[in-house]
Chain A
Amino acid sequence: MLSAIQRFVPNAVIIALGIGAAAMGAGYGVLGDDGRVGPGFLPTVAGALMAFFAAVNVLTSGRKQTPTLDSVVEEQVPGFHDGEASLDPAGDGGLDIHGRTQRQRDRMLWTVIGIVLATVALVPLLGFMLAFAAMLLVIAVVVERRKIMPSVMVSVVTLAATYAIFVLFLRVPLPQGILGI
């Protein structure tokens, strides 16, 4: 279960964002001539309401743990969502089918996020196809520790299909890097 702090912090962030947006929105002009809706109307109202509902959320969730969609699913289909394991504070519960612990999976997660960010950042340099070829290979070989040959095969087939559909058929001009590919 989420701790009180884990529940509070995201809501606090949303409240702050909502108030900030409402304040900025008000600067755009909420109402114009003879009370007509102005460009700031929706940002102000939506921002204020978002902050309000987040506040309600903090108050009500502290009182009673209402069943959420996911927890209901968990209840109906045991083992379907490993949500409980992922929130295990010890961080070593819930081995998956590859026998990875939660801590290993968290490391994988951040590695994948890092790889995706790096890939997108490298597109102007390497070009779209090359950057994503590298991404597919690195995830398969380094993160998932698959064998080299099948990984290369899967990457080549995927890229060829992508190229055929997007570049040849739909004629999407994917960005090229300094190498011209």
Chain B
Amino acid sequence: MLDNLMLGFSTALTFENLLWCFVGVLVGTVIGLMPGLGSTTGIAILIPLTLGMEPVTALIMLAGIYYGAQYGGTITSVLISTPGEAASVVTTLDGYQMARQGRAGSALAIAAIGSFIAAIISLALLMALAPPFAQFALNFGPVENLSIMILGLITVVSFAGGSMSKGLMMVTAGLLISTVGIASGFSQARFTFGNVNLLGGIPFVEVMIGLFAVGEVLHQIRVGAAAPIRARFKDMVISRKELTNSMPSIFRGSFIGFLLGCLPGAGSTLASFLSYGVERRFSRNKHNFGKGAIEGVASPESANNAAANANFVPTLALGIPGGGTTAVLLGAFTIYGLQPGPLLFEQQPTLVWGLLVSFFIGNVMLLVLNLPLAPVFAQMLRIPYAYLYPIIILTSLVGAYSVSNNMFSVWLVVIFGLVGFFMKELDLPIAPLVLGVVLGPLLEKSLVQTSALGQGNFMIMFQSQISVSILSLALLLAVGPWLIGRFKSTPSDAKELTHV
């Protein structure tokens, strides 16, 4: 173990690898700042540029892009309510509110610190436990995944704000949107109305950019320009109190993120939603969630970073990608002549441990880079909104185009921008809709598979211990706070109950 770590450090700490790690983190941050362009697209586009490099150097750079892009997405989520990828949707809920209150610097700082701590925790787990975790994750078949989807949808209740019926209405709307196109496992086209572009469905990236970025711009125009947010310097630097308050959330988020990230497919979006749901239910500061609670930024950001690391558990230990980005990275392995699979740890120790250690170094770089830069980025909000919003519209639309190379995506963003605007006017919550669109295909897939495995009988869900445990957890999450409220009915809890 120690030998391996030493080997890793000696590989990662060469000048060349450090340099490319830095380049990757920096380029990744820029890519993440572009709406719609996430790590998956960024890495796919840049793989050809790495062909001349040593495999380990190339992978270190690509992994740097992976982390950098996530952080870049966080910056736009906080500043202009435009998540770079689905995993940072939740960050907009409290991060954007913090920015509107002049606390963007704190939000960005806690995201960087939370991500860093999550990275350290998950890397320690990854190095020590990757193979057994990977083996355990294989037990998650369709039945267990279906239970996880149910757990994920239950968290929606936590986002409903005042009205549970609105939250549920929006999550079902999201599920419905996700069914457009060819059904998973069938060759039946649905809701396509003869349009070939719709055969491919309505991708969540376009939905997300439209609802959040364009919808928010239109909303702001109607509401009227507020004065540019002039933050005082003392608000820009995170306070000791904010830091200590966030620590428990960061740790909870890291563990939730790591566990979900190990499962092939379930991924970091669910981790961020779930950790936010848990915090909103159980945090001491739950009353401020949705109004700029720093814990509401700390927990999902830690969770999605931990999940991003944990995605490498099945990728490195089994050769099965944990998520979209690691799938692209696995493709890169093949291009460099590496054979991903269970023997990678044994056959390529230099590469594997060098890569793992470079994750650590990359996260240190991100922290060093971003703590001082957070207040600088926050200054972006001082640009007059009259100049800022056309730029937001432009980057949203060009970002959408670059993901699919298709004008159809641009139209989708415009349409969902209008939808998002009307949803804001009508006080309908947006995050549940995005969750529905993201989870819909996964839910449908596990529904179809579970019913096929059970030959039409869903009772097989109760034959799996894992599945029963997850369903119990979902039940606990749904009725837990209500039960707690029953047993100790302090005035503040009673007040909270009326909100749920």
Contact indicator B290/A144 (Cβ below 8 Å):
no
A54 CB → nearest B CB, Å? 5
Contacts of B42 in A (CB 8 A): 170
Residue on A with the closest CB to B225? A96
Known contacts A36-B456, A72-B290, A73-B97; A162 and B221 CB within 8 A of each other? no
Contacts of A36 in B (CB 8 A): 448, 451-452, 455-456
Contacts of A95 in B (CB 8 A): 224
A54 to B179, alpha carbons, bound, how many Å? 19
Choose the segment among B125-133, B162-170, B309-317, B460-468 that binds chain A (4+ C-beta atoms closer than 8 Å): B162-170
A40 to B448, alpha carbons, bound, how many Å? 11
Taking each of B188, B387, B450, which has the highest tally of chain A beta carbons within 10 Å of its own beta carbon? B387
Choose the segment among B6-14, B355-363, B397-405 that binds chain A (4+ C-beta atoms closer than 8 Å): B397-405
Contacts of B387 in A (CB 8 A): 140, 146, 154
Chain A 119-155 interface 0/1 with B at a Cβ cutoff of 8 Å (1 = within): 0100110001000100110011000101000000010
Interface hits, B154-178 → A, CB 8 Å:
161-163, 165-166, 168-169, 172-173, 175-176
Contacts of A25 in B (CB 8 A): 179, 190
Chain B 27-68 interface 0/1 with A at a Cβ cutoff of 8 Å (1 = within): 000110010010000100100000000000000000000000
Is B393 engaged at the interface, CB distance under 8 Å to the other chain? yes
Contacts of B394 in A (CB 8 A): 132, 135-136, 158, 162
A71 to B37, alpha carbons, bound, how many Å? 33
Is B493 engaged at the interface, CB distance under 8 Å to the other chain? no
Contact indicator A112/B221 (Cβ below 8 Å):
yes
User: Which of B37, B221, B411, B452 touches A108 (beta carbons < 8 Å)?
Assistant: B221
A126 CB → nearest B CB, Å? 13
Contact indicator B386/A39 (Cβ below 8 Å):
no
User: Which of B188, B386, B418, B443 touches A113 (beta carbons < 8 Å)?
Assistant: B418
Is B414 engaged at the interface, CB distance under 8 Å to the other chain? yes
Contacts of A123 in B (CB 8 A): 407, 410
Taking each of A49, A69, A113, A154, which has the highest tally of chain B beta carbons within 10 Å of its own beta carbon? A69
Is B226 engaged at the interface, CB distance under 8 Å to the other chain? yes
Q: Main SS of the interface on chain B?
A: helix
Contact indicator B440/A42 (Cβ below 8 Å):
yes
Residue on B with the closest CB to A172? B402
A14 to B171, alpha carbons, bound, how many Å? 13
Interface residues on B, range: 35 or more
Known contacts A37-B451, A42-B179; A98 and B456 CB within 8 A of each other? no
Contact indicator B386/A146 (Cβ below 8 Å):
yes
User: Which of A50, A66, A83, A108 touches B172 (beta carbons < 8 Å)?
Assistant: A50
Contact indicator B426/A10 (Cβ below 8 Å):
yes
* Count, A-B residue pairs, CB within 8 A: 216
Contacts of A38 in B (CB 8 A): 186
Is A56 engaged at the interface, CB distance under 8 Å to the other chain? yes
Q: Main SS of the interface on chain A?
A: helix
Known contacts A53-B165, A140-B390; A86 and B222 CB within 8 A of each other? yes
Query: What is the interface of chain B, defined by CB distance below 8 A to chain A?
Result: 30-31, 34, 37, 42, 45, 97, 100-101, 161-163, 165-166, 168-169, 172-173, 175-176, 179, 183, 186, 188, 190-191, 214, 218, 221-227, 290-292, 386-387, 389-391, 393-395, 397-398, 401-402, 405, 407, 410-411, 414, 417-418, 422, 425-429, 440, 443-444, 447-448, 450-452, 455-457, 499
A72-B291, A117-B414 given; 7 more Cβ-contact pairs under 8 Å: A24-B190, A25-B190, A29-B188, A37-B448, A37-B452, A97-B225, A175-B407
A-B contact pairs, 15 of them (CB 8 A): A35-B451, A36-B452, A37-B447, A42-B443, A42-B447, A43-B176, A53-B168, A53-B169, A68-B427, A80-B100, A81-B223, A105-B222, A158-B391, A171-B45, A172-B405
Query: What is the interface of chain A, defined by CB distance below 8 A to chain B?
Result: 2, 6, 10, 14, 18, 21, 24-25, 28-29, 31, 33-43, 46-47, 49-50, 53-54, 56-57, 60-61, 66-73, 76-77, 80-83, 85-86, 94-98, 100, 102, 105-106, 108-109, 112-113, 116-117, 120, 123-124, 128, 132, 135-136, 139-140, 144, 146, 154, 158, 162, 165-166, 170-175
